[in-house]
Amino acid sequence: MNLTREETLRELYNLILNKDTRDWERTVLTTTKDALETNENFKVQMAKLEEKLRPLALRDNLTGDVADFYLKILGESAEEAFDFSKHRIKDFTHQDYAVFGGGCFWCMVEPFETRAGIDSVLSGFTGGDTQQPSYDEVLSGGTGHVEAVEIIFDTRKISYQELVDLYWQLIDPTDNQGQFQDRGNQYRPIIFVRNDQQGKIAEKSKEKMIESARYKQPIITEIKPTSTFWPVENHYQQFYKKNPKRYKRIKRYRQRFLLYQRLKGEIRIRLQK
């Protein structure tokens, strides 16, 4: 534990006041805060807190900021912080935004972020009505939001058309109940377009997908105007870097499913010919 008593109390206060903190987490944190304020043994109280949080931490089921605090209790560095201040357009002549909902945002970042011409990829929520939705609120499916990625790209190095083409390779466009193992409206596939030019490119691309006859089921992927994009907290940003083994397992499952789906499509096309 690298934090002092005073630093720990400050962190506890912030987490207790954080609207994203779950009720159970808030109760446990409050108990520790109250004990520290009455000068209970610091190391003993932190050991008790670590023991209570451990089962959920091992299952990666703590809310984001509490998960970062748990790492500090262990004496480990908090997860690499995503620099939210750098996710903005600096050159309006040569940079643009693109927003895609394609299931869990954990698996949507790496395929875009590792492409030349991508300046930043931010995970978050969009398409709903609730202001500043929390991760748990969106997960419940009641806010109307979907998990999505907002991409800033250099138009001199990669085009919006190329991003859309890549997007179709990452999703099952026939599934309106979610994507792969992630079920629910918050995971449905949507292309969010921010102007008429993006809209025309997306619509034409979708028409080509339909005309290709690669899918037995209808293409249900929506195309909608962009709305407010709410970033998710640091813990959920760049999952593929922070949890490489788990990410590879999820990615492998998705790739196998998509490969099988494409092979069925190729067979269907050949039989039709």
Catalogue the active-site residues.
104
- The one-character DSSP state at 176 is S
Can you tell me the distance from the alpha carbon of 3 to that of 49, in angstroms, rounded to the nearest whole number? 14
Hey, which bits of the chain come out as E strands? 95-101, 118-126, 146-154, 178-179, 182-183, 190-193, 222-225, 230-231
Q: Is 212 exposed, middle or buried (0-12, 13-18, 19+ CB in 10 A)?
A: exposed
How many angstroms separate the CA atoms of 109 and 168, rounded? 14
Q: How far apart are CA 63 and CA 183, in angstroms?
A: 20
| Phi, psi at 208, each rounded to 5° | -65, -40
Residue with tokens 């009641």: 142
Task: Give the integer Cα–Cα distance in Å for 70 and 53.
Answer: 7
Task: Please identify which residue in the block is written with the tokens 């534990």.
Answer: 1
How do the residues of the chain divide into helix, strand and coil, expressed in percent and rounded to 5?
Answer: 50, 15, 35
Q: Provide the residue type at 164 as one letter.
A: V
- CB neighbours of 264 closer than 8 A, spacing ≥ 6? 216
Question: For residues 150 and 229, is the Cβ–Cβ distance under 8 A?
Answer: yes
Which of 65, 55, 78, 66 shows the shortest CA–CA distance to 2? 78
